[in-house]
Structure 1
Amino acid sequence: MRTTDYSTSVPYREVTDRNGRVYRVGESDIDIMGRGRTWMAVLPWVGMMGISSAEYAFTSAEDTLHEAHLWSSGHVFWLMGVWVFFQAAVAFPAGRLRESGRLPARTAMLLGAAGTLLGYLSLAYAPHVAVAYLGFGMCSGIGAGLVYATCLNMVGTWYPERKGGKTGFVDGGFAYGSVPFVFLFTSCLDPGNYRAVLVTAGIGLCLVVASAGWFFQDPPKNWWPAHVDPLMVTHGPKIRRALEKNPPAVRQYTPKEAARTPVLWMMWFCLLCTAAIDIFGIAFQVPFGKDMGFAGGIVATAMSLKVIVDGTGHGVIGWMSGLPRSRTRSRGGAPVGRRNTLIIVCVVLGAAQFGVLVSGQAGSMPFFLLCSMVSGFGGGAIFPLFAAMTADYFGENNNASNYGMVYSSKLVSGLVGSGLGAVVVDAWDYHGAFVLAGCVGLASAVLALFLKAPGRPKARRIVPNPHPLGEEMA
């Protein structure tokens, strides 16, 4: 390994590990931006809260939009699918623009805030459903994609040594922010007040996103926190556990290099399947509950619990992926690891679909609420896991672009989970649709077994040094 020291006027140095990866060390977060990096976790969390209602709470307004605009239910579900399509489509180009310096973080957030406002205005005043597709589906989707990609990349670059929990925390905001709107759209929205409610919500959320994004600041390329030595493994217990099972990428992969590895496309397909299941649940849990005879308040509660637990799943799973299997062996136990955590999450997500179906058909309200929460937990866990795994496998420098490629699978999963999901429900009823979703979740767990970091040798292939350094060689 090599250490490069700069002149005394430069308060940092670059170190290179045995794999050739460069770390910029010596600068603290205070040195760079004048405040602690905790701000770069809290502000992205707030920004994510500002865009979440468009995905999680939108279908709760289905009845009102249908009655006020005379749009068919099919249009409402396809509107959500188009929104998800554009939200995912912008991830990769936004990442490339961000990493090239042509799209500063603040600009991306302000554009996202404008898209959020435009989406709500189009839902309130669209003279034709085509305008809603353009304003809400495309413009709001693109704005949300800019915010989502910017917020996740921001926290990942500021916390390269323990990104799992922090990424999960920020991603959880994408669910928490929609909770009040689920109740608002389910209980209070009607054809007499929908325009005032939607415009007020749009203006408020626009201000939230813009205010949070105004203070965003990126760290330098290859930055590593000054208190953590990237070449040593004798850190404190938290960092040691996080890096033991989830070590940093062997080098910084460019998007072209990452695209040549099979594991990136396996991650792409696995995220497609799991995200489609999550979006299917978001889109159809409310109408399914109503069709099964549950009261509107129960359905709204179930959806809200799903969203709350969804947001909790983001943070808890990120934290859990770095924990040892046994807390009693925290000094020597092997952490669960993100891949193993993903396998567990896929099994839970698939099994929850069968539970939602059975509880609804049996008319068991407590079991329906429980399965809704379990489904939300599984759906909320997948995105931060894939975001952190992408940085673990391919490095932080190009993570916005690399995760953008993985996240682009949501282009398909949004249309499959919402739009095509409506077709499947019409053809096979809810029974066939939920059974299919559950089977896909279990199959995703099998696929996750084969996810491995590129370029890292397997432990069993590492030959120990037959002549270790010792006192006799001193």
Structure 2
Amino acid sequence: MSTDGASRSAQGVAYREVTDSKGRIYRVGETDRDILGHSRKFMVYMPWIAMMAISVSEYAYGSAEDTLSEAHGWTQSNTFWILSVWVFFQAGIAFPAGWMREKGILTARRAMFVGAGLCFIGFLALSHFHNVFAAICGFGVIGGLGSGLIYATCINMVGKWFPERRGAKTGFVNGGFAYGALPFIFIFNYAFDTGNYNEVLDLIGVYVLIVVAICAWFFKDPPKNWWPAEIDPLNYSGNTKTAASLAMNPPAVKQYTPKEAIRSGALPLMWITLVMTAGVSIFGISFQVDFAKEVGFGPLVAASSMGIMAVVNGVGRAVVGWLSDIWGRKLTLVFVIVALGLAQFGIIWAGNMHSEWLFLFFAFLSGFGGGAFYPMFAALTPDYFGENYNATNYGLVYSGKLVSGLFGGGLGSMVVDSWGYNGAYALAGGISMAAAAIALLLRQPGRSEIRKITPNPQPVSREVV
């Protein structure tokens, strides 16, 4: 093969480029410490902490709605639409941010710094603007853009640094986006009122700004085509667990550009599946506390149900990420989406029976399914299309959430008004089951069935640069 590259990396460490039987290039020889100056584990822990910091914006928002409505004179519909706009821009920025990163316009570190500042502005707007439109622009648009920059950068960072075992790592980092909100859920339910809401929201904004800015300092992307030096990309030798994971979730056959990923058909199918599943998840986040209160459950159960959802949502992402390394991403994704659908019907049943414990159980199941699919899409994208264009490709897939935010929050409130909670939850369960059926159609571009893949592919060529 033709290399046309320098014989040494920018850090002065020799590397070589290896081509497998499918023509994919791997850059090997440089360790994580050669590139970063420290272990790549930092590229797990720093994104994880940053994700926990921004989780308050989405997963604790439902617990703050009543106080916000009373303090600012908003209707319930106003508060739902503010969150819907936030979700729209949080998801919508992923693709342009990824494009700017891959074009060299925006570094990962700079994206994090900008995101931290925008999140801070968003909380100030939610705290001090009584006008609904101003709050939508401040928290929904500006805060959403900031959270989206941070979210997309964190997820893509993990996928780039752990190409050989991204399931568990991606799930762990993604989990922080849910259970990081737990302290704030209880603060908003028990220590948040019209007398202190300004101070509480301002302090939360400062907290997010400082934590994310500190984490951002450590962010750095690996070189394109980078592969860990200790794992042979041609026969997966070096670690038994890694070899088993790669056999179930083989690397992409090549580095797909966004246009190629779309033309493969797999990316549009992933987008549709995410739209449907994320809509059901956002619906649960937005309405679970209100449904619990309407059924007659006390504030402790209402708060606990949302707290359970946040914890299980986050822990479930880590567990499912680990499980996908064993089962395979697609099977795990289908399992998660089915669990989410069953939980919606279970919540109706628990409400009709007025059973608090049953309600908490299905809140547990809903929290599990409602978050665990996110790391599956985050890991499937580089599995199917490679790491070099992952920021852009995942941005395209994740952009489905901007559509989900509309029917999961705003349109969801309209369905509740028209059909009641039982009708809305039944519709959500049906949508989830349909999404699981669509997920069964996913196939990795350029490969036959995963079961036919051996963990010892033979190289076409192998040249040292």
Q: What does residue 121 of structure 2 align with?
A: 118
Worse-matched range after superposition: 419-428 or 440-449:
440-449
The alpha-carbon distance between structure 1 residues 146 and 65, as it changes in their structure 2 partners (threshold 3 A), is: same
Letter in 2 for 1:449: L
CA deviation after TM superposition for structure 1 residue 235, in Å? 3.8
Q: Match for residue 104 of structure 1?
A: 107
Correspondence for 2:299: 296
1:149 lines up with 2:140 in the alignment: no
Indicate conservation of the 8 Å contact 2:114/2:146, yes or no.
yes
Q: Which residue of 2 aligns with 1:386?
A: 377
Matches within 5 A, 1:227-266: 227-266=230-269
Q: 1:20, CA displacement in angstroms?
A: 1.3
What is aligned with 1:438? 429
Instruction: Tell whether the 8 Å contact from 1:87 to 1:141 is kept in structure 2 after alignment.
Output: yes
Match of 1:201 among 199, 204, 207: 204
1:186 shift after superposition: 1.1
The share of aligned pairs that are identical, in percent, is 54
Give the Å deviation of 1:266: 0.7
Q: Give, in whole Å, the separation in 2 of the partners of 1:305 and 1:407.
A: 25
- Summarize the Cα distance change of 1:342–1:359 in structure 2 as closer, same or farther, 3 Å threshold: same
The alignment status of 1:353 with 2:368, answered yes or no, reads no
Is 2:141 the counterpart of 1:138?
yes
| Residue number in structure 2 paired with 1:410 | 401
Contact 2:230 2:238 (8 Å CA) reproduced: no
- CA separation of 1:128 and 1:37: change in aligned 2, threshold 3 A: same
* Structure 2: distance between partners of 1:98 and 1:453: 25
Aligned residue in 1 for 2:36? 33
- Please state how far the C-alpha of 1:245 moved relative to its aligned partner: 1.1
Aligned partners of 1:139 and 1:125: how far apart in 2? 15
CA 1:288/1:231 → structure 2, altered by over 3 Å: closer, same or farther?
Answer: same
Match for 2:373: what amino acid? I
Provide the rounded CA distance (Å) in 1 between the counterparts of 2:208 and 2:142: 15
- The alpha-carbon distance between structure 1 residues 30 and 59, as it changes in their structure 2 partners (threshold 3 A), is same
**1:249 positional shift:** 0.2
2:361 match:
370
1:312/1:380 contact within 8 Å kept: no
How much has 1:322 moved relative to structure 2?
Answer: 1.4
Instruction: Name the counterpart of 2:218.
Output: 215
Residues matched between the structures, number: 450
Deviations 1:103-147 (A, max 9, x none): 011111111111111111011110311110000000000000100
Q: Distance in 2 between matches of 1:125 and 1:412?
A: 28
Shift of 1:261: 1.7
* Segment drifting more, 7-16 vs 273-282: 7-16
Deviation at 1:10, TM superposition (A): 4.8
Report deviation, 1:313: 1.0
Residue 26 of structure 1 and its aligned partner are, at CA, apart by 0.3
Task: Say whether residues 1:43 and 2:42 are aligned partners.
Answer: no
8 Å CA contact 1:74–1:419 kept in 2: the answer is yes
Taking the aligned partners of 1:147 and 1:460, their CA distance within structure 2 comes to 36
Counterpart code for 1:188: A
AA aligned to 2:54 is I
| TM-score, L = length of structure 2 | 0.94
C-alpha contact 2:18 2:26 (8 A) present in aligned 1: yes
Secondary structure of the residue aligned to 2:141 is helix
The corresponding residue for 1:163 is 166
CA, structure 1 residues 56+7, in 2 after alignment: closer, same or farther (shift >3 Å)?
Answer: closer
- Contact 2:279 / 2:404 at 8 angstroms: preserved in 1? yes
Q: Post-superposition shift, 1:455? A: 1.0
Q: Which residue of 2 aligns with 1:427?
A: 418
Match of 1:85 in 2: 88
Q: Shift of the alpha carbon at 1:237?
A: 1.8
Helix, strand or coil at the partner of 1:15? strand
Query: Given residue 448 of structure 2, which amino acid in structure 1 is its aligned partner?
Result: P
Please tell me the residue identity of whatever aligns with 1:34: G
Gaps of 5+ in 1: 324-335, 463-474
User: Which of 278, 290, 305 is the matching residue for 1:275?
Assistant: 278
The amino acid across from 2:384 in the alignment is Y
In the alignment, what sits opposite 2:456?
none
Q: CA RMSD in A?
A: 1.5
Rounded to whole Å, the distance in 2 between the matches of 1:459 and 1:4 is 33
Contact 2:127–2:201 (CA under 8 A) maintained in structure 1? yes
Query: Quick check: 1:58 aligned with 2:35?
Result: no
**In structure 1, what is the Cα distance between the partners aligned to 2:2 and 2:114?**
42
Tell me, in whole angstroms, the C-alpha distance in 2 between the residues paired with 1:121 and 1:138. 13
TM superposition shift of 1:4: 8.9
CA distance in 1, matches of 2:237, 2:169: 22
Distance, in Å, in 2 between the alignment partners of 1:309 and 1:461 is 35
Matches within 5 A, 1:438-457: 438-457=429-448
Which of 384, 400, 424 is the equivalent residue of 2:391? 400
Unaligned runs of 5+ in 2: 454-465
Report the counterpart of residue 190 of structure 1 in structure 2: 193
Provide the residue aligned with 2:72 in structure 1: 69
Q: 2: CA distance between counterparts of 1:441 and 1:458?
A: 25
For the structure 1 residues 133 and 298, does the alpha-carbon distance in structure 2 shift closer, same or farther, using more than 3 Å as the test?
Answer: same
Task: Tell me if the contact between 1:6 and 1:12 (Cα under 8 Å) persists in the aligned partners.
Answer: no
Distance in 2, matches of 1:417 and 1:392, equals 28
Decide whether the 8 Å contact of 1:313 with 1:380 is kept in 2.
yes
Equivalent AA in structure 2 for residue 285 of structure 1 = Q
- Matched residues in 1 for 2:181 and 2:452: separation? 48
Contact 1:3 1:16 in 2 (8 A): no
Amino acid at match of 2:28: V
What residue is the counterpart of 2:463 in the other structure? none
Partners of 2:302 and 2:5 in 1: CA distance: 61
SS at match of 2:302: helix
Residue type of the alignment partner of 1:33: L
For the residue of structure 1 that corresponds to 2:325, the secondary structure is coil
**Offset at residue 456 of structure 1 (A):** 1.0
The answer (yes or no) to whether the contact 2:334–2:439 under 8 Å persists in 1 is yes
Q: 1:313 aligns with which of 316, 334, 338?
A: 316
SS at match of 1:321: helix
